[in-house]
Amino acid sequence: MYLSRFLSIHALWVTVSSVMQPYPLVWGHYDVCKTQIYTEEGKVWDYMACQPESTDMTKYLKVKLDPPDITCGDPPETFCAMGNPYMCNNECDASTPELAHPPELMFDFEGRHPSTFWQSATWKEYPKPLQVNITLSWSKTIELTDNIVITFESGRPDQMILEKSLDYGRTWQPYQYYATDCLDAFHMDPKSVKDLSQHTVLEIICTEEYSTGYMTNSKIIHFEIKDRFAFFAGPWLRNMASLYGQLDTTKKLRDFFTVTDLRIRLLRPAVGEIFVDELHLARYFYAISDIKVHGRCKCNLHATVCVYDNSKLTCECEHNTTGPDCGKCKKNYQGRPWSPGSYLPIPKGTANTCIPSISSIGTNVCDNELLHCQNGGTCHNNVRCLCPAAYTGILCEKLRCEEAGSCGSDSGQGAPPRGCPALLLPLAALLGTAGPLGI
C-alpha cells in the first residue's frame, strides 16, 4: 500500500516537474577542469574542457545613457499615469529619492511595492524624436545562456533595436528589430523566432510580437536565446550534445551568442494611436523596471571560475593558460600553439592544454603538476617520458614517422593523429547532430 502510494506521488512529482521546468536549470557538463586518476605510474592529472556556471550578469555591468541628461527629474517634471494617460499629476524629481528614477533602478531587486524603475524625460520637445541609447558594458567577453528580458513600466516602444558588440563598443551589429509596423519602421517583413530554422537561426529579424503600444498588461520584451538553442537541442533542450557539437564546430554560431556589450536603442515611445496627442505630450516617455541578462564569462573552456575584482571580470585560468579569457599559453608553456578547449567528445570534451616549451623543460617533465605522458608513454623518474616505438616528442605527443615525413599507408604508423576527421565521423553519428548550417 505504502509503496504504491509512494510511486503515485513520485509519478505526480515527475509530471509536475516536467511542466514547471521546461528547460534544464543547469547545463550539466564541463564544471571540472581536471581530476586525478590512477595509472601504473601512480596518480596523474586528467584534464578536460571546463566553463563557469551561468549567472545573472547584470550584477557586473556598467550602464551608460545617451544623451546623458535624458533621465527625468532634472528639472522636476510631471508625467501621466500608465493606467490613465490623461491623469498627468505624477512627478519625477531627481532631488527627492522617493520621486527619482535613476538608471540603476533597472537592475535592482524586483518585487518591491511600489515598483522601482528608470524613466526618461517626457516627449515635451515633439516633433523632435525622443530617442535613447542604453548601453550595457562588461569590459569582458561573455556568452549568453538565457533570454534577454526587458520589462517596461511604460508602454513598450513603438520602435526599438537591440544591438550587440564583440569589440567593447567600437562597432555594433543589430541583434533584433522591434516595431508595431516593421515594414514602415525598418523596411523589413515581420517575423518571429518560430519562423526560423537551424539554417536561418542567425538571421536578423524584425518582430511585431512585443510592440503592442500603450497597454498596461503588455510590458515585457524578449530576445529569445533558448528558442534558438532549441533548434539544435530540441524543444526542451534535452539534447545538449547536439547543441554543444554545433557550438564547437561553427564559429559564427558561437559568436552569435557572445558579446562584450549590449545596446538598447529606444527610437519611438508607445503612442498607441496613429497620431501623437500634442496636447498631452507628458504621456509619452520610456520607463524600464528590469533588465535580465544571464550568461557566463567566456574562458575558452579553460576555467570554471570567473572573479569580479576592482569592477572587472577575469577568468581564473587552468590548463596552463592565461589572459582575461584564457586566450594564450602561460610563459614556458608554449610547446604547441594555444587552442580553445573543445566540447567534444561529450561529456568531458578536450582540454587542449598548453604544454611545456622545449627551452623550459627542467627536472620535472611528467610529475603530477604537469602533463602526463601521452599515447602510452611512461614517466621515468619524473624526468622524461619513455615513448612507444611509434611516438616521439617530450610527452610522446608526435608520431615518429611525421618527423621523418614517412607517414604513408606502408609505414605501419598510419594511425591518424588526435583531431583527425576520420575519428570525428563515428562521433557525429553518435551525437546525431544536425547537418551543417547554411551560413
The model's pLDDT over 11-68, given as tens digits with 9 standing for 90+, comes to 444 343 333 334 443 444 799 999 988 877 778 889 999 999 999 999 999 999 999 9
DSSP 168-224: TTSS-EEEEEEESSHHHHHS--B--GGG--GGGTT---EE-TT---S-TT--EEEE-
What per-residue confidence (pLDDT) applies to 417? 42
C-beta neighbour count of 434 within 10 angstroms: 16
DSSP one-letter code for 266: E
| Cis check: omega of the bond before 421, within 30 degrees of 0 | no
C-alpha 154/C-alpha 81 separation (Å) is 9
* Burial (0-12, 13-18, 19+ Cβ within 10 Å), 2: exposed
What per-residue confidence (pLDDT) applies to 216? 45
Identify whether the C-beta of residue 296 lies closer than 8 Å to the C-beta of residue 326. no
CATH number for 28-52+299-360: choose from 3.90.320.10, 2.40.50.140, 2.10.25.10, 3.30.1490.190: 2.10.25.10
* Burial (0-12, 13-18, 19+ Cβ within 10 Å), 257: middle
Identify whether the C-beta of residue 109 lies closer than 8 Å to the C-beta of residue 59. no
Longest Cα–Cα distance in the chain: 89
Q: Residue 196: CB partners within 8 Å, gap ≥ 6?
A: 203, 205, 228, 231
At the fourth CATH level, which superfamily is domain 56-295?
A: Galactose-binding domain-like (2.60.120.260)
Identify whether the C-beta of residue 151 lies closer than 8 Å to the C-beta of residue 219. yes
Q: Dihedral (C-alpha) 243, 247, 249, 250: value to the nearest 10 degrees?
A: 120
What per-residue confidence (pLDDT) applies to 269? 94
C-alpha 338/C-alpha 300 separation (Å) is 11
Residue 2 dihedral angles phi and psi, to the nearest 5° = -65, -35
C-alpha 255/C-alpha 200 separation (Å) is 15
**306-309 and 312-315 beta bridge pairing:** antiparallel
Q: Which helix (H) or strand (E) holds 139?
A: strand 132-144
Q: Which long-range contacts (CB under 8 A, 24 or more apart) does 360-363 make?
A: 360/332, 360/333, 361/394
For residue 18, the SS3 value is helix
C-alpha 134/C-alpha 99 separation (Å) is 21
**220-223 and 378-380 beta bridge pairing:** unpaired
Q: Residue 271: CB partners within 8 Å, gap ≥ 6?
A: 158, 213, 214, 284
Domain spans of the chain, in order of start: 28-52+299-360, 56-295, 362-400
The CATH code of the domain at 362-400 is 2.10.25
Identify whether the C-beta of residue 183 lies closer than 8 Å to the C-beta of residue 177. no
Q: Which residues of the chain have pLDDT under 70?
A: 1-28, 82-83, 85, 110-114, 212-217, 359-371, 380-383, 403, 408-439
pTM of the predicted protein model: 0.76
Q: Do domains 56-295 and 362-400 have the same CATH topology?
A: no
> How big is the CA angle at 411 (ends 378 and 365), to the nearest 5 degrees?
20
C-alpha 240/C-alpha 229 separation (Å) is 9
